[in-house]
Structure 1
Amino acid sequence: MALTVVMCVLLLLFILNVPIAFALIVSTAVYFLFTDAFSSTVLIQRLVGGVESVPLLAIVFFVAAGILMNYTGITSRMLRFAQVLTNRLPGSLAQVNVVLSTLMGGLSGSNVADAAMQSKVLVPEMEKKGYSRAFATALTASTSLITPIIPPGIALIMYGYVGNVSIGSLFLAGVLPGVVLCLSFMIYVHFYAKKHKLETENKEKVTKKIFFFTFKDAILALLLPIIIIGGIRFGVFSATEAGAIAVFYALFLGLVIYREMKMKQLVKALIETVHTAASILVIIAAGSAFAWVLTLEQVPQRMTEFMVNHVSSPFMFFIVVLVFLLIVGMFIEGNVSIIILTPLFMPMIQQYGIDPVHFGIFFIVCISIGTLTPPLGTIMYTTCSITGTKVEEFIKYSWPFLLILILAALLLAFVPSISLWLPSILN
Structure 2
Amino acid sequence: MSVAIACIVLLFLFILNTPIFISVLVAILTYFYMAGDISPLIAVQRIIGAGENVTLLAIPFFILLGNLLNYTGITHRMLRFTGVLSGHYPGGLAQSNVLLSTMMGGLSASNLADCAMLSKMLVPEMTKLGYSRSFSTAVTAAGSLITPIIPPGIALIIYGFVADVSIGKMFMAAIVPGLLCCVALMFTIYLISKKRGYLPARAHGPTCRELWEAGKGATSALILILVIIGGIRFGIFTPTEAGAIAVVFVIIIGAVFYREMTMKDIAASLLETARSTASVMLIIMTCSALAWVLTNEQIAQDLAVVMTGFSDNPYIFLLIVNLVLLFLGMFIEGNAAIIVLVPLLMPTVRLLGIDPIHFGVMMILNLAIGCLTPPMGTVMFVATSITGTKIADFLREVLPLLAALIVVLLMVTFIPALTTFLPAL
Matches within 5 A, 1:188-199: 188-199=188-199
Cα deviations by residue, 1:1-46 (Å, 9 ceiling, x for unpaired): 1111111111221122211101101110111112343322221111
Q: Which runs of 5+ in 2 are unaligned?
A: none
What's the counterpart of residue 389 of structure 1? 389
- Cα distance in structure 2, aligned partners of 1:222 and 1:389: 33
Moved over 2 A (4+): 34-38, 204-210
- In structure 1, stretches of 5+ residues that fail to align are none
Residue 129 of structure 2 aligns with an amino acid whose one-letter code is K
Query: What is the correspondence of 1:50-69 to structure 2 with a 5 Å cutoff?
Result: 50-69=50-69
Matched, 1:102 2:102: yes
Q: CA deviation at 1:201?
A: 8.5
Question: Any idea what the Cα deviations from partners look like across 1:102-148, whole Å, max 9, x if unmatched?
Answer: 01101101011111111111111111221111111111111111110
SS in 1 for 2:71: coil
2:22 is matched with which residue? 22
Cα distance change on mapping 1:205 and 1:330 into 2, 3 Å? closer
State the AA in 2 paired with 1:322. N
Give 1:386 deviation, angstroms: 0.7
**How far apart, in 2, do the equivalents of 1:187 and 1:133 lie?**
20
Distance 1:331 1:178 in 2: 24
CA contact (8 A) 2:85 2:205 kept: no
**Aligned equivalents of 2:386 and 2:278: distance in 1?**
23
* Secondary structure of the structure 2 residue equivalent to 1:149: coil
Residue type of the alignment partner of 1:245: I
Partner of 2:294: 294
Query: Any conservation in 1 of the 2:20–2:283 contact (CA below 8 Å)?
Result: yes
Secondary structure in 1 matching 2:411: helix
Residue number in structure 2 paired with 1:245: 245
Change beyond 3 A, Cα 1:205–1:39: closer
State the shift of 1:296 in Å: 0.3
Bigger CA drift: 148-157 or 233-242? Answer: 233-242
Whole-Å Cα distance in 2 between the matches of residues 36 and 130 of structure 1? 63
Code of the residue aligned with 2:314 in structure 1: it is P
**CA-to-aligned-CA distance 1:334-376 (integer Å, 9 cap, x gap):** 1111111111111111111110111111100101111111111
SS at match of 1:331: coil
Deviation at 1:200, TM superposition (A): 4.7
* Superposition pairs of residues 150-229 of structure 1, within 5 angstroms: 150-200=150-200, 203-229=203-229
Query: Is the CA contact (8 Å cut-off) linking 1:127 and 1:133 kept in structure 2?
Result: yes
After superposition, the C-alpha distances for 1:265-287 in whole angstroms (9 at most, x for unaligned) are 11000000000011000000000
Q: How far apart are the structure 2 equivalents of 1:388 and 1:58?
A: 34
- The offset of 1:202, in angstroms, is 7.2
Aligned pairs for 1:81-120 within 5 A: 81-120=81-120
Structure 1 contact 308–351 (Cα < 8 Å) conserved: no
- CA drift of 1:240 comes to 1.5
What does 1:346-425 align with in structure 2 at a 5 Å threshold? Answer: 346-425=346-425
- 8 Å CA contact 1:194–1:200 kept in 2: the answer is no
Check the 8 A contact 2:64/2:247 in 1, yes or no: yes
Partner of 1:323: 323
Preserved contact between residue 232 and residue 239 of structure 1 (Cα < 8 Å): yes
1:83 deviates by 0.5
Tell me which amino acid in the other structure corresponds to 1:164: D
C-alpha distance in structure 2 between counterparts of 1:209 and 1:200, whole Å: 20
Specify the alignment match of 1:257 in structure 2: 257
TM-score (norm 2): 0.98
Q: For residue 141 of structure 2, give the secondary structure of its aligned residue in structure 1.
A: helix
Residue pair 2:91, 2:201 contacting (<8 A) in 1 also: no
CA deviation after TM superposition for structure 1 residue 207, in Å: 3.4
Deviation of residue 159 (structure 1)? Answer: 0.6
Mean alpha-carbon deviation: is it higher for 281-290 or for 8-17? 8-17
1:370-409 per-position Cα deviation (integer Å, ceiling 9, x unaligned): 1111111111111001111000001111111111111110
Q: What is residue 332 of structure 2 aligned with on the other side?
A: 332
- For residue 312 of structure 1, report the CA deviation from its aligned partner: 2.8
Q: Does 1:45 align with 2:45?
A: yes
Corresponding letter in the other structure for 1:387: T
Task: Report the secondary structure of 2:76's partner residue.
Answer: helix
The answer to whether the 8 A contact 2:87-2:202 is kept is no
SS in 1 for 2:335: helix
Helix, strand or coil for the counterpart of 1:374?
coil
Equivalent residue number for residue 122 of structure 1: 122
Tell me, what secondary structure is at the counterpart of 2:146? Answer: helix
8 Å CA contact retained: 2:87, 2:200? no
Letter in 1 for 2:127: E
By how many angstroms is 1:293 displaced? 0.3
Paired with 1:219 and 1:268, the residues of 2 have a C-alpha distance of 25
| Structure 1 counterpart of 2:371, one-letter code | T
Residue 293 of structure 2 aligns to a residue whose secondary structure is helix
**Cα distance in structure 2, aligned partners of 1:244 and 1:299:** 38
Name the CA distance, whole Å, in 2 between partners of 1:59 and 1:179: 23
Paired residues of 2:287 and 2:336 also in contact (CA < 8 A): yes
Greater mean deviation of Cα atoms: 335-344 or 307-316: 307-316
Cα 1:123/1:202, change in 2 over 3 Å: closer
2:80 partner amino acid = R
Residues 225-281 of structure 1, C-alpha deviation per residue, up to 9 Å, x if partnerless? 211121112211111211111211121212222121111111000000000011000
1:343 is matched with: 343
Percent identity, aligned pairs only, is 49
Distance 1:175 1:336 in 2: 23
Q: Name the amino acid aligned to 1:156.
A: L
Aligned to 1:5: 5
For 1:354, give the aligned amino acid: I
**TM-score by structure 1 length?**
0.97
Superposition CA RMSD, Å: 1.2
* Number of residue pairs matched by the alignment: 425
Is the Cα contact below 8 Å between 1:384 and 1:391 reproduced in 2? yes
Deviation at 1:208, TM superposition (A): 2.4
